[in-house]
Homo-oligomer: A and B are copies of this chain.
């Protein structure tokens, strides 16, 4: 065929825009620098603001940009690696883990959680809330579901709620001997309360890490940890993790 292949599959404007912006970020901007506002940027590229926003959204999803209402759009630092797989046979709350107890209450868990705990559906459990900092920033919140059977020695002498209670529950947990732990990671969107903790808007993308700790043949603890997907790279395994980000579309030649 002697004919020239001219854009038989024209790429969407926002996609092209994203590529252009991405290259500009690499070459002309430095971390923390603020970009022109959306209206100006849209005008500069000759597109509607909604189209420009579609490109910005993807760049934010990829961790290249950070947008804050009322403030502006800034160039994001590279994602921070947060270790998830380390403490192999330790319980939550073991010495030196990265989490900070926030609160604790005793309630009936959601149906899906009760099922995973294979406890009765109406059985109340301890729910410990913790948060995790990294590089001076809140990167995750966690809910720990702990059946009463997992902390038999727990007394009522401590405060019925609050950080002190949370620490008491976790302390009691250390007495169990752990058999195994299963972990899974999936994409989710932040619930209202998690979003608030993470300083994001509700619905922002998060990585949900669900861990089930087993002891004495049953599920002793269920942890649901919610990490900011825009700023976090979850690392597993032996060492500190690889650092590969935003693969350029084309290979260097």
Binding site for B on A (CB under 8 A): 11, 15, 18, 58, 61-63, 79, 81, 85, 107-113, 116, 180-189, 191-192, 202-203, 205, 207, 210-212, 222, 224, 229-230, 232-249, 251-253
Report the minimal beta-carbon distance from A63 to chain B, rounded to whole angstroms: 7
Residue of B nearest to A230 (CB): B187
Asked whether, in the complex, the Cβ of A181 is within 8 Å of the Cβ of B237, the reply is: yes
Asked whether, in the complex, the Cβ of B242 is within 8 Å of the Cβ of A210, the reply is: yes
Q: Once bound together, how far apart are the Cα atoms of A107 and B191, in whole Å?
A: 44
Asked whether, in the complex, the Cβ of A62 is within 8 Å of the Cβ of B233, the reply is: no
Asked whether, in the complex, the Cβ of B207 is within 8 Å of the Cβ of A185, the reply is: yes
Asked whether, in the complex, the Cβ of A186 is within 8 Å of the Cβ of B79, the reply is: yes
Asked whether, in the complex, the Cβ of A187 is within 8 Å of the Cβ of B61, the reply is: yes
Asked whether, in the complex, the Cβ of A222 is within 8 Å of the Cβ of B242, the reply is: yes
Q: Could you list 5 examples of A-B contacts with CB < 8 Å?
A: A112-B245, A181-B237, A184-B234, A187-B229, A210-B241
Asked whether, in the complex, the Cβ of B184 is within 8 Å of the Cβ of A233, the reply is: yes
Asked whether, in the complex, the Cβ of B185 is within 8 Å of the Cβ of A236, the reply is: yes
Additional A-B contact list (13), CB under 8 Å, known A58-B203, A112-B245, A185-B234: A62-B188, A110-B247, A111-B248, A116-B242, A116-B243, A181-B237, A181-B238, A182-B242, A183-B237, A188-B246, A191-B249, A205-B205, A210-B242
User: Given A116-B243, A185-B207, is A108 in contact with B191 using a C-beta cutoff of 8 Å?
Assistant: no
- Pick the most buried of A58, A81, A180, A252: most chain B CB atoms within 10 A of its CB: A252
